[in-house]
Every structure is written in structure tokens, then in C-alpha cells.
């Protein structure tokens, strides 16, 4: 009877037993950065149409005002708060990405923790510790069922994020290993989310549920509500239902020694990751361009075939489709000198100047160019050419977002949808979270006075 | 572009366009029986330990008191009411069974309708119509992904029940085909539930969520929250994720002509269906036995090999395991002359007289006996023998529960956990639901004054 034979129990025991002193400094630091990015994204998404509609539907279902919603005045029970904050943090496609699984871990994991901090109380270091462990649980379960799980159609952010949401909340609630195992069992039996839902608002239901139902699983387990003992590896458990390529050793191997959060990246732009080097090149060219943009005759982007396959969309009609459009991303980067949340708004997509530049942009495959690189060439009306090659886009593993860049991103997000937030104070509070006595202080800083 | 190529949309259009006048009398009648069985089961399960724990956890999350919980004084928002009523109606394993899929359709489908009837208003015939359509949607989606879906580990009552919950609620809300399609899309992306969770309380979370999240999907769609257009058949949709044996024609073939609710059966005993003919035989023998039970030396049960495989459990420790124990079921049928909810209580399982009789019961395979039949032979201490062969157990397709038997079952359920209910009046109200102006009247009859 080894740990590897009982991965559900082994993961539960690891999370329950984890001591803050065992968390390496680099992991703590990445946890802080992950929370910072999460709070920024939650603020940026808080006025999105989908979030407004969700609140309208759920308002009569709001229970006791236990917790806040980043950037908003409404208060509600912890479960609805978890749902809405997770949906908001993910809705702009601006949140973190665990590169080995393409999962976005923070949106499912963090909201339940902030809700519990408000409803039950928690110190900053307790919340940070639980967050790091939750990300670890999500990503390890994801690793165990990739690649088939996602390839078949499971939206892994939701389907595996729920395990981290349950584990993290369970840690903050102080669950013993038996109850932590039940919490993971409740997560497993609620695991849901389809890639087919991406591109519609329905995506936000999956991500919101991952946070909500993971937290609910932990609360049920705390109360003694029993769950499956082998929910992941059991004969009729999560793994066999989720994937034809299961490697359960990915859950237990190196637990406490290697940390998945170190493979978590933050987006510099709220769009598809393959576009990052293209946007970097355009911003660089714009900074160097001595000529007005209206003299551009043609823009040719060369990149890995995946770039064209995923993003060659000259005819975009709204912000959602623009987020996966090479043409739109190039146009706004050259025209606005930015590719932030504002550049993917419907109004910008419809702007005649942007439309005029979009039609001049074309893409070509170059299998010699790695996926994290891109080449952009601008041809001016007078026949002259300017070119830029970016070997590693910002926000990719070789060039992670710096702390300063992350701070600026939080500022952009808050400025876009929650301008009342004291951004420097918020950033300072999160960066100092290890010394924060009351973690709920952070949520209070994100809502209107 | 045929309906069959767009089954999600075709199902949505069918439900949205369905006219009550098109529902055949036999389907209407089975709908009434399904509602009667549902209300009975919800009353029978309302004091179960799992339901009590769930209410304790969810109490702070209760929103506006829109809806009741069968058999209980608490009131809560429609979503929590759907969750708790579904969990309660299924917790005793006494609810209906759609025989082709082994799904229990009513527990996910009905609770959202009663909650909406209280929150928004609905006539009896509107509720009955929506219920029939919801059962149809659940079972057709289930047919399309069986047998692999269940065999792999998906708890089909939850995973497919959510489609019916969304469709039924959507019908009551009057969704147009576009919004009904979104509602099914929201259902698809929330579809969850593992067979591994059966045997623990966690099962109730899956069934509760099917009702809750299906209703939520319909409410989100009503508000304009967009969903996938091809959530079931899409490249990364429900069907391909759910099963390796997909037959989408099962969703659309004969829509409006054949009705799945006609394959829905009701249990006469709250235990495994293979035990029904065994219990029937024991009750028959007891009625004929002129000797005291304590003169029984041995009971030999012969049946289809599946009977022994599933239920040969002499050493049961609690009510949950007793529900799949041949030995326990035989013992209580002979001792109590009944195998109802009370006979599967922990206290009865521990009763020395029951334990003494259990050890005298043994099972033998007889491949010549069909699975719906069983032979029981009692050998008395004096060497004499009494035998009974039941060819078709009550509650199986060849011998459905009569209306009188169903009424008695509702009485048993209410008597067990909600003795304050005026059972004859409740039964009359449900049987006359087509003429009931306010469907919420039924829920009000199930709660303490």
C-alpha cells in the first residue's frame, strides 16, 4: 500500500499536512505573483457583460452577505462570491496559464479563499499557503489526465481547477486527511466543463462552478458529509472517466519537492498566447517608426504554422473573436501602441481606422520559426521596409512577466473597470501578504467604499 | 442541414414548440405517476442524515425564501431548493428508474419545476407538461451515450439528468429555441457525476447539482447569457467527452412519437432492482407460512447469476449496504412482512433477530432463471420445505406498480419522515394536477403548517 496506489488520499494528506515552513521561497514568491495577477484580472473583468448578467440572475439567490465581489458593490454568500469572482477573473482571457496543461489555475482556486477569509477569517500567510497548495493540486490532477483530457474536449481550467479549489479551501478550513479526501471526492464528482463552451458566455459558468463547487465540496466535507475514498483513481473514478491517457504518478511523484506554480505564466496581453511575440514586435516597430501609420501599405507576419492556424482571422466582429485575431492584434499594436483590455473592446474592433489597417495584415507559415517567436515586416507606401524579429514573446517561459510589468498590468485592469481602486496600496498589500493579519483586507481594497 | 445533424438545436426546438395537446394520454398518465413517485420519495428522504448535513452547510447560503423543501420547514432560493429536493428524492434509492439507461429521471427534473412554480407561478398542467418533456430530454441524451457512458463511470442520473432539468425549467420559463439551445449548452458544460461517488453521501451532491445547475442554466439562458450552439454534438461537446459509443440519432429519432417516460418504472422496495422478485417471493411465503419464523433452518435463493453477483452480502453493517444485500432483504421480508424504508434503517440492520435470520440465507446461481425472476425455498427445522417462484417482480417492466401500489408507497414515505402530511389530499392533488390552477399548492401540502 504505497502512496502512489492511493493518489487521492496521498494528495489529501500532503495538503492537510503541509507546513508553511516547507514552502520554498521561489514558490512563495510565485504565489504572491499569482494572487496579484488574479486580483488584477478579477478587477478587469468585473464590469464584463457576462458578469453583469450573472449577477442579475443570481441576485435573488444571494445568501448572507459574507463576501465581496472584486470591483463591485454587491455582497453575497461565499459560494456565489466564489462563482462570480472566478467568472470575472477568467472572462477577459487575461488570467494565468499553467504551461504544461494550458490550465488557468488561479480563477478556480483563489476566489473561495478570499470568500472564506471574509466569512471565517484568515491571515495573509494562511491564504497564500492555501493558494499555492490549491494550484499544486489542480495542476497535478491535470498533468495526470493530459493530453487526452483536453484534446477530447474537457475544459481543463474548470474540470481540474475544481480539485485545487477544494484542496485550497479545505486547507484554510483545516480539514484532516479523511475530510480532505472527501473534499477531493466531492470535487471529482462535480468536475465539469467543455471546450465547446469556449467562445460563448457559457465558459464562465464552468469556471465559476469550479470555484463555487470546489469550495462547497470542502464545506460539505468539513460538516462530515462523506465522499468517495478513491475518487480519482477508483474503478469508476475521475481519471478513467476523464482521459484515455492517465498517468497517476504525476499526482504523487515529487510532491513537496517540485512545484507546478513555477510553471505558471502571466499574460502581458488579453489574447491568445501565440500572438504575444507578434504584438511585441509590432510595439517595438511602432516605437522605431518615424512614419505615420497611414503610410503602411502591408504588414506581413511570419511564424510557426500554429500561429496562422489559430489566429489568421481578418474578419472579426467583436472583442471576443478579436482576441484570437492576428490581424486585429497587429492593427491595435501599431495604431494604439498597446494591446490591452481596451484594445479588444467591441468599439475598437468596429473602429474604421483599425479595420483599415487589419485588411493590410497577412500571415505566412515559417516552420523554422519556433512557436514562441515571430517575425513582422512592414512595407510602407514608398516601398521601404521595416522588420522586427522577436525570439521570445513576453509572458512566455523564456521571458516571464517582471514584477514591474505585473504591477502595470494590475493598474491597467483596475483602470479599465475599477478606477476607484488605490492600485499602489492594493499592490503593496498583496506583495506584503505574508505579514497581513487579515487577508480579507485585500478584498475590501478592491470594492468601492 | 437536417435536424439529425443538429441534435442540440432539434431537441431545443422540440421542447420549446411542444404543445400540451400533442402529449398522448398514456404519457400524461405516466407523467402524473412520475410526479407522485417523486413527491413520495422526496418526503421519504427529507430527514435523511445527508439532507440534514447539506442544509446545515447551505443555510448561510440560502437566498430569498422563494421555494420550499418537501417535508421540511426551511425555505430558500429556487436553486438551493432544487438541490435539496433532488438530493432528498434520490437519497433512499427509492426513486424512478428509466430502464434502458438505469437513470433516475425525476429527481433532477422535478425539483426545479416545483421551485419555479413557487417563485414564478405555474399551473398544474404547465408543470406536468414541462416534467414530461424534461424526462424525455434526459433519457434521450442518455440513450445517445449509453452503454459506454455509464460503464466507464459516469453517474448517468446526474450527468444526463441535468439536460432534462434545464429543458424542463426552460419550458416553464417559456424560452424560445435559441435560448433553449443555450440552456442545453449550459447543462452540457455543467454535466458531472461519478459512479465512484455511489455508496457515500457524495452521490447526493451529483444529483442535487443536476437539478440545481440545470435550473441555473435555464435561468441564465433566459437572461440572455449565451451558450454553445452545438453543445452535445460539437467537436469538443458533451457526446464525444461522455462516451465512446455515441448514437446521436437516439436524440432525434421519433421525437414526439415515442416517449421515454413509458419506460420509466417505480420501485416497490428501496433497494436494488434485482432483489424485487426475491422479496415478492418471501412476502408471499410469509403470508402462507403457518409456522413461526424461528423454525426456519435455511433459506435458499436461486436466481440469475447477476443476483448473486450484486447482492450476496451476508455481512452488512448499515442501511446503505443492506439495500444491496440479498440476505438482509430476505430476513426483513420474512420477519417484518415488509421491505420498506423502515426495514433498511441502521437499527433494523443491527437487530439480533434480523442478524440471526440473515446468516441462514444463501444464494445459488441458476442461469435458467431470468433476471426479473427468482426462486425462494425455505427449509424448516423439521425438514419440511416451502417454495415460491416469482416470474416477474413487482416494479419490473412486466409488472409495473399499480396506481394503488404507488399511492401506498407515497403513504409509506410520508409516514416514515413526514407524518404531518395529509396523504390522501396530497395524492388527490397530484392525480388531478391537470386541473390545478397553482402548481405550488402541491409543495405547500408537503411542508409542516
Q: ipTM value of the model? A: 0.95
A192 touches chain B (CB under 8 A): yes
CA distance A160 to A145: 9
Owner of C-alpha cell 521571458: A399
Contacts of A64 in chain B (CB under 8 A): 60-61
Domain segments of chain A as ranges: 3-267+401-446, 273-390
Q: Cβ(B175)–Cβ(B218) under 8 Å? A: yes
Per-residue confidence (pLDDT) for residue A2, from 0 to 100: 55
Per-residue confidence (pLDDT) for residue B2, from 0 to 100: 56
- Please, which residues have CB within 8 angstroms of residue B439's CB and are 6 or more apart in sequence? B113, B114, B117, B122, B123, B124, B126, B127, B433
Is B218 strand, coil or helix? helix
pTM above 0.90, yes or no: yes
- Does A147 sit behind a cis peptide bond, omega within 30 degrees of 0 on the bond before it? yes
Is A240 strand, coil or helix? helix
The class that CATH gives domain B3-267+401-445 is mainly alpha
Instruction: Select from A57, A60, A206 the Cβ nearest to the Cβ of B66.
Output: A60
CA distances from A262 to A28, A121, A257, A265 (A): 10, 28, 12, 8
Per-residue confidence (pLDDT) for residue B320, from 0 to 100: 85
Residue B298: closest CA among B364, B203, B366, B392: B364
Q: Cβ(A51)–Cβ(A88) under 8 Å? A: yes
Q: What is the pLDDT of residues A239-268, one digit of tens each?
A: 999 999 999 999 999 999 999 999 999 999
Averaged confidence pLDDT in chain A: 96
Q: Cβ(A128)–Cβ(A238) under 8 Å? A: no
A54 touches chain B (CB under 8 A): yes
Contacts of B190 in chain A (CB under 8 A): 192-193, 205-206, 209
CA distance A407 to A39: 11
Per-residue confidence (pLDDT) for residue A88, from 0 to 100: 98
Per-residue confidence (pLDDT) for residue B1, from 0 to 100: 44
Residue of B165, B197, B238 for testing the chain A interface, max A β-carbons within 10 Å: B197
* Contact between chains at B241 and A194 (C-beta distance less than 8 A): yes
* Contact between chains at B205 and A217 (C-beta distance less than 8 A): yes
Q: Cβ(B156)–Cβ(B97) under 8 Å? A: no
Half-sphere exposure in the Cβ direction for B269 (13 Å, CA): 30
Per-residue confidence (pLDDT) for residue A15, from 0 to 100: 98
Per-residue confidence (pLDDT) for residue B245, from 0 to 100: 93
Q: Cβ(B97)–Cβ(B150) under 8 Å? A: no
B191 touches chain A (CB under 8 A): yes
CA distance A291 to A276: 24
CATH of domain B273-390: 3.30.1330.120
CA distance A68 to A228: 32
Residue A35: closest CA among A118, A134, A101: A134
Enumerate residues 64 to 83 of chain A having a beta carbon within 8 A of any beta carbon in chain B: 64, 66, 77-80
Q: What is the pLDDT of residues A209-223, one digit of tens each?
A: 999 999 999 999 999
Instruction: Select from B152, B225, B230 the Cβ nearest to the Cβ of A196.
Output: B230
CA distance A8 to A141: 9
Per-residue confidence (pLDDT) for residue A397, from 0 to 100: 76
**Alpha-carbon radius of gyration of chain A:** 22
Alpha carbon A220 to chain centroid distance?
A: 26
Instruction: Classify B383 in phi/psi space as left (phi over 0), alpha (psi -120 to 50) or beta.
Output: left
Per-residue confidence (pLDDT) for residue A80, from 0 to 100: 98
Strand partners, B244: none
CA distance B259 to B22: 12
Domains A3-267+401-446 and A273-390 share a fold: no
Q: Which residues of chain B have pLDDT under 70?
A: 1-2, 291
CA distance A208 to B220: 13
Owner of C-alpha cell 479595420: A355
How many degrees, rounded to 5, is the angle at CA B114 between CA B116 and CA B396?
A: 140
CA distances from B348 to A61, B46, B353, B381 (A): 40, 19, 9, 25
Contacts of B230 in chain A (CB under 8 A): 196
Q: What is the pLDDT of residues A262-319, one digit of tens each?
A: 999 999 999 988 999 999 999 999 998 776 788 999 999 999 998 998 899 998 989 9
List of E strands, B335-421: 361-365, 374-380, 385-390
* Contact between chains at A241 and B154 (C-beta distance less than 8 A): yes
How many degrees, rounded to 5, is the angle at CA A401 between CA A399 and CA A407?
A: 165
Residue A234, min C-alpha distance to chain B (Å): 7
List of E strands, A229-335: 264-265, 296-303
Per-residue confidence (pLDDT) for residue A38, from 0 to 100: 98
CA distance B344 to B321: 9
Q: Does residue A1 have a pLDDT over 50?
A: no
Contacts of B66 in chain A (CB under 8 A): 60
B152 touches chain A (CB under 8 A): yes
Q: What is the pLDDT of residues B280-303, one digit of tens each?
A: 999 999 998 776 788 999 999 999
* Contact between chains at A182 and B193 (C-beta distance less than 8 A): no
* Contact between chains at A196 and B235 (C-beta distance less than 8 A): yes
Q: How close are the terminal C-alpha atoms of chain A, in Å?
A: 55
Residue B83, min C-alpha distance to chain A (Å): 13
Cell numbers describing residue A77: 454568500
Instruction: Select from A57, A66, A154 the Cβ nearest to the Cβ of B60.
Output: A66
Residue A344: closest CA among A318, A311, A373: A318
> Is it true that domain A3-267+401-446 has CATH number 3.40.50.2300?
no
Residue A51, min C-alpha distance to chain B (Å): 10
Residue B245, min C-alpha distance to chain A (Å): 14
Owner of C-alpha cell 489568421: A312
In B, minimum Cα distance to A48 occurs at B225
Contacts of B51 in chain A (CB under 8 A): none
Amino acid at each position: 500500500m504505497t502512496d502512489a496506489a492511493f493518489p487521492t488520499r496521498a494528495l489529501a494528506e500532503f495538503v492537510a499536512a503541509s507546513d508553511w515552513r516547507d514552502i520554498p521561497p521561489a514558490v512563495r514568491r510565485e504565489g504572491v505573483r499569482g494572487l496579484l495577477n488574479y486580483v488584477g484580472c478579477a478587477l478587469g473583468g468585473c464590469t464584463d457583460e457576462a458578469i453583469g448578467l450573472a449577477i442579475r440572475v443570481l441576485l435573488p439567490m444571494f445568501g448572507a452577505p459574507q463576501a465581496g465581489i472584486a470591483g463591485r458593490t454587491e455582497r453575497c454568500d461565499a459560494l456565489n462570491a466564489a462563482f462570480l469572482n472566478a467568472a470575472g477573473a477568467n472572462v477577459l482571457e487575461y488570467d494565468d496559464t499553467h504551461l504544461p496543461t494550458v490550465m488557468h489555475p488561479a480563477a478556480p482556486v483563489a476566489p473561495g479563499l478570499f470568500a472564506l477569509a471574509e466569512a471565517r477569517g484568515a491571515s495573509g500567510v494562511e491564504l497564500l499557503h492555501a493558494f499555492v497548495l490549491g494550484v499544486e493540486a489542480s495542476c497535478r490532477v491535470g498533468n495526470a489526465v493530459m493530453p487526452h483530457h483536453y484534446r477530447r474536449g474537457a475544459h481543463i481550467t474548470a474540470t481540474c481547477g475544481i480539485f485545487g479549489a477544494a484542496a485550497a479551501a479545505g486547507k484554510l478550513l483545516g480539514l484532516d486527511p479523511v475530510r480532505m479526501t472527501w473534499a477531493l471526492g466531492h470535487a471529482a464528482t462535480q468536475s465539469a466543463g467543455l471546450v465547446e463552451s469556449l467562445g460563448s458566455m457559457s465558459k464562465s459558468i464552468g469556471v465559476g462552478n469550479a470555484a463555487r463547487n470546489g469550495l462547497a465540496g470542502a464545506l460539505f466535507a468539513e460538516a462530515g458529509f462523506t465522499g468517495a475514498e478513491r475518487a480519482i483513481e477508483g474503478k469508476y473514478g475521475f481519471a478513467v472517466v476523464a482521459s484515455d491517457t492517465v498517468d497517476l504518478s504525476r499526482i504523487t511523484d515529487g510532491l513537496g519537492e517540485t512545484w507546478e506554480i513555477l510553471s505558471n505564466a502571466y499574460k502581458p496581453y488579453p489574447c491568445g498566447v501565440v500572438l504575444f511575440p507578434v504584438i511585441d514586435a509590432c510595439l517595438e516597430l511602432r516605437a522605431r517608426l518615424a512614419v505615420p501609420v497611414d503610410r503602411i501599405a502591408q504588414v506581413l507576419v511570419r511564424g510557426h504554422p500554429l500561429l496562422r492556424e489559430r489566429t489568421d482571422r481578418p474578419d472579426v466582429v467583436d472583442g471576443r473573436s478579436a482576441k484570437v485575431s492576428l490581424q486585429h492584434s497587429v492593427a491595435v499594436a501599431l495604431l494604439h501602441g498597446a494591446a490591452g483590455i481596451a484594445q479588444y473592446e467591441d468599439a475598437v474592433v468596429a473602429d474604421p481606422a483599425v479595420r483599415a489597417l487589419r485588411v493590410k495584415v497577412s500571415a505566412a507559415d515559417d516552420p523554422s520559426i519556433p512557436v514562441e517567436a515571430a517575425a513582422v515586416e512592414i512595407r510602407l507606401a514608398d516601398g521601404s521596409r521595416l522588420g522586427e524579429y522577436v525570439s521570445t514573446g513576453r509572458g512566455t517561459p523564456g521571458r516571464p512577466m517582471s514584477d514591474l510589468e505585473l504591477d502595470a498590468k494590475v493598474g491597467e485592469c483596475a483602470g479599465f473597470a475599477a478606477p476607484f481602486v488605490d492600485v499602489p496600496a492594493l499592490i503593496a498589500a498583496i506583495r506584503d501578504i505574508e505579514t497581513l493579519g487579515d487577508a480579507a483586507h485585500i478584498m475590501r481594497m478592491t470594492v468601492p467604499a
